[in-house]
Structure 1
Amino acid sequence: MFSASLRERAAAVIALYEERGLTLVTAESCTGGLIAGLMTETPGSSKVFERGFITYSDRSKEESLGVAPDLIDQFGAVSAEVASAMAEGALEHSAATVAISVTGIAGPGGGTATKPIGLVYFGYGRAGQIAILKKKFGDIGRSEVRLASIETALDLLFNASSF
């Protein structure tokens, strides 16, 4: 299912987190649990992977992660503010030390002039230290946006290990 390259990168994240005594939680929307799937497909993941939340709907973001409805109403589900709240909520609702969140528009529909297809926000870090990354992958296809998001998430997880 996942390429050898992605599996190797996931294994490297797991090894690094184990070495540093870190644990991971994911909060995924447009990736639909693929980051969690990749991590748990990797041998040794049980030592660092705490849990994953798939919060595809606005309601699930509110109920599972405690994202304030006002944030979604004001900024939209695909926003820096919601990505940050998703990561913080994942940390609050788990025993993990590091979180990664992903919310975006994978397409083929759903894009607008201000939020085009391929726009993805990532929240990552530790409690009180959540950083945000905005990526514009473009209208490269649904699967390709999701794959690019997984690749970006792995890079960010390396960065978050040194927060």
Structure 2
Amino acid sequence: METLLPSRFKRVCVFCGSSPGKNPSYQLAAIQLANQLITGETVGEVRAVSGMHQRKAEMARQADAFIALPGGYGTLEELLEVITWAQLGIHDKPVGLLNVDGYYNSLLSFIDKAVDEGFITVAARQIIVSAPTAQELLCKLEEYVPKHSGVAPKLSWEMEQQLGYATKSDIAR
């Protein structure tokens, strides 16, 4: 019997589609991930926010790691935002793709092409961890060590998140 060590992650933010998709393996992978993550403690909480931007910023602040399951535009948008924040040095939290049946192969190929063409650094490419199973992905996330160098001080980003929208809307007027 395999003994699991305690995870260094208290909260994992999971991005996923609002539907199960056509391939039954996507739903099975989501269940397997849930089984790996759920410890018997209360899962999640409800917190009122003013909009989508604040919702994503709050999830990012609260999470110790991020995992994207197969999904559509919303999943991709949330995933790319946390990858960009890691690239900018806003966080050093691991970002994982649960690459079920090669769902994210095309995205990973695109990112590798962007590295080859000089749009993404080799160090920034290492922000994304991927694996085909929940157990393998969680192991890789546990071992993740940031290799990129950030440029944005975290404190200034958090202040912008709290003050930014009022300032931006005032400027628009």
Give TM class, smaller chain: 0.3 to 0.5
* Bigger Rg, which one: 2
Q: Could you tell me the TM-score, scaled by structure 1's length?
A: 0.33
Give the TM-score taking structure 2 as reference length: 0.31
Bigger strand share: 1
